Amino acid sequence: MTPRFLMTDPAWFDVSYSINPWMRPDAWATHRKTEAIAASAALRRALESCGALVEMVPAVEGLPDLVFPANAAVVLDGRALLARFRHPERQGEEAPFRAAFERLADWGLISEIVELPAGLTHEGAGDGLWDETRQLFWTGHGPRSHRAASDVIGQVFGRPVVPLELATEAYYHLDTCFRPLSGGEVLYYPPAFTAAGLAAIEAHVAPADRIIATDEDAQAFCVNAVCLDRTVIMARAPERLAQRLTARGYALAEVDLDPFILSGGAAFCMTLRLDLASQPVLALQK
């Protein structure tokens, strides 16, 4: 199946408020808009060079973080569980993202749109990462998403869920500090997790498959990566991380995403994969 992603036109992206420690409106300047548009286009080219198709969400004035569609929904097997945002600054994104999914449904790219139960917040694939190797969801909770939303994900998609509690506002979504790779490895940043969260990771991931991100790797937003087959698309990587990944047989496609890192996001945040599919349950039982 051809990989298919959702991205957002960055025409109205800026850093005008702060809802995470990375967001620095004082560091934003007019010239950054031009840089952001170029960076988004470069990320799209990197995806397309790997054979992916990209669907675009129109920009909306006043919604600068609409450029991070990973937070729009959890998507698997054609079903989309729509997000509900914690912060008022992002709650306006819910309507345009819903409209985008309704268009995708009209085009046959989404088969069902599902709502979260009232009273729960969950910020999409940012806190709900599908692990193809283990056929389960890793879910983050604490800073943005409710723990109970993890149970809803399990119910909606009929797949196991491993909830991971996040320990710090700096790594406010799971996708900023945890990335399953296509070969079964997991790249993650231990200081972002509580002791219970780390224990859950270690219970499900063999030591040989654990790739520990350093402070430098995490701060460069390289854990916030897209993995397509044996290519990892990420922000510019520290040399040591690049060497570790290439030693495991991965090719790196590095993109200068500095304008978006000023808002606390990078390659994974800026995309939402639409074609993820689980294996049949009977096949898993053999």
pLDDT computed for residue 284 by the predictor:
46
User: 271 with 5: CB under 8 angstroms?
Assistant: yes
- Distance (Å, whole) CA 279 – CA 227: 18
pLDDT over 70 (residue 148):
yes
- Mean pLDDT of all residues belonging to the chain: 96
pLDDT over 50 (residue 97):
yes
- Sign of dihedral through CA atoms 272, 266, 23, 126? positive
pLDDT computed for residue 281 by the predictor:
66
pLDDT tens-place string over residues 38-72: 999 999 999 999 999 999 999 999 999 999 999 99
pTM for this predicted structure: 0.96
User: 181 with 227: CB under 8 angstroms?
Assistant: yes
Average of per-residue pLDDT across 101-122: 97
Active-site residue set: 173, 269
**Residue 135 tokens, joined:** 């056929």
Domains and CATH numbers, the chain: 4-285 (3.75.10.10)
What DSSP line would sit under 205-222, residue for residue? Answer: S-GGGEEEPPHHHHHTT-
pLDDT computed for residue 30 by the predictor:
72
